[in-house]
Amino acid sequence: MEQFLQQLASGLANGAIYAALALALVMIYVSTDHINFAQGEMAMFSTYISWQLMSWGADFWVAFVAAVAFSFVMGVTIERVILRPLHSAPVLSIIVVFIGLLAIFNSVAGAIWSYLIKSFPSPFPKSDFGIAGVIGAHQLGVVLVTLVVLGLLFVFFRFTPLGLAMRAAAQNPQMARLVGVRVDWMLALGWGLAASVGAVAGIMVAHIVYLDPNMMGGILLYAFASALVGGISSPGGAVAGGFIVGVLENMVAYAGNQIEKATGVYIIGNGEKLTVALIIVIVVLTVKPAGLFGRVVVKRV
């Protein structure tokens, strides 16, 4: 039972990270209809920035805020410089550009910081508290930080004029432009915010998976799965999807473990996590493309 609760807690912690990255993907998808394949590598790059600042002696939270701010600028710059001119390019071109960005971030991070795996500090105290032994301090901290960030985003989008303008620009760009919203800049801001949220996910997960240029590959896949489960057009759905997928991932591995213990037959374990994500992605895309909370798109034929 205790092991089950531990798995549940670790699933929730992972879920928080998937939720954040999935939200970043959804923010870009909602406003531009693009799936950002470079989101994970951008988050990885931001995580390296915070690591660099810490190795220069900065406090964890100072480095955290600086890296998030850096990511915001990075996101806005990428949108303005690289994606804006490709505004009306075909889908393939956009995807190719994203893959290009992925390769650039990955290789540049490898060139600057090497491909050696680095340990990453946790800002949370070592001792276990709460339900002792079930949830680690870092896991609890990850969930809290993510929830705070998501809460701030919700407040921003729901209660500020700028948030309203951004939602308007995403929902109906033409009408928004008519009432004086600068749609182009709203898209760039959306990119910046997405990159920041991604950075939070990267910095939070680095303590768990360790820091290396390929660390986000699997996590990005899980974020895709989360976004799809929740409905890729629904921000709230992405968050819910993140937690669902995070728990599901650990439960599948846990069930596989129990089966192996009981019957001695190995079916599924930690080694198959990415395969589980692949199956989730394909099943959701083919069976229910709108996800749990997404808008069903009806195509006129």
Partner 1 sequence: MPAFPKKWLAVLLVLAVVIPLLQPVLPDIVSNYRLFLVSTMIIASIAVLGLNLLTGFNGQISLGHGAFYAVGAYTAAILMDRLNVPYWATLPAAAIVCFIVGYLFGLPALKLEGHYLALATFALALAVPQILKYKWLEDLTGGVQGIVLLKPEAPFGLPLSEDQWLYYFCLVVMVFLYWGAANMLNSRSGRAMMAIRDQPMAASTMGIDLALYKTVTFGISAAYTGIAGALSASAIAFVAPDSFTIFLSIKFLIGLVVGGVGSLAGSVVGGIFYVLVDNSAQALSQFVRNDLGVPFDLSAYTVFGVLLVALMYLMPMGIVGGVYLAVRRLRSQR
Residues binding partner 1 (CB under 8 A):
33-35, 37, 82, 85-86, 89, 91-93, 95-97, 99-108, 110-112, 217-218, 220-221, 224-225, 228, 266, 269, 271-275, 277-278, 281-282, 285-286, 289, 301
Instruction: Please spell the DSSP secondary structure of 19-65, one letter per residue.
Output: HHHHHHHHHHHHHHS---TTHHHHHHHHHHHHHHHHHTT--HHHHHH
* CB nearer to partner 1: pick between 5 and 86: 86
- What whole-number distance in Å separates Cα of residue 22 and Cα of residue 4? 26
CA distances to 8, 53, 225, 239 from 275, rounded to whole Å, are 20, 35, 11, 22
| Closest distance to partner 1 from the beta carbon of 136 (Å) | 26
Q: With contact defined as beta carbons under 8 Å apart, do 204 and 146 qualify?
A: yes
Chain centroid to Cα 256, Å, comes to: 26
Tell me how far, at minimum, the Cβ of 281 lies from partner 1, in Å. 4
CB of 215 to partner 1, least distance (A): 13
Instruction: Give the residue with the Cβ less far from partner 1, 113 or 120.
Output: 113
206 vs 225, which CB is nearer to partner 1? Answer: 225
CB–CB of 255/195 below 8 Å?
no
Question: How far is the C-alpha of 149 from the C-alpha of 236, rounded, in Å?
Answer: 13
Question: Please, which residues have CB within 8 angstroms of residue 258's CB and are 6 or more apart in sequence?
Answer: none
Buried b (16+ CB within 10 A) or exposed e, 219-245: bbbbbbbbbbbbbbbbbebbbbbbbbb
Cβ distance 78 to 198 under 8 Å? Answer: no
CB of 25 to partner 1, least distance (A): 10
For residues 93 and 171, which CB has a smaller minimum distance to partner 1 in the complex? 93
Query: 97 vs 149, which CB is nearer to partner 1?
Result: 97
Task: Select 179 or 301, whichever has its Cβ closest to partner 1.
Answer: 301
Nearer to partner 1, 123 or 217 (CB): 217
CB of 34 to partner 1, least distance (A): 7
Shortest approach of partner 1 to residue 190 CB, angstroms?
Answer: 17
Min separation Cβ 40 and partner 1, Å:
10
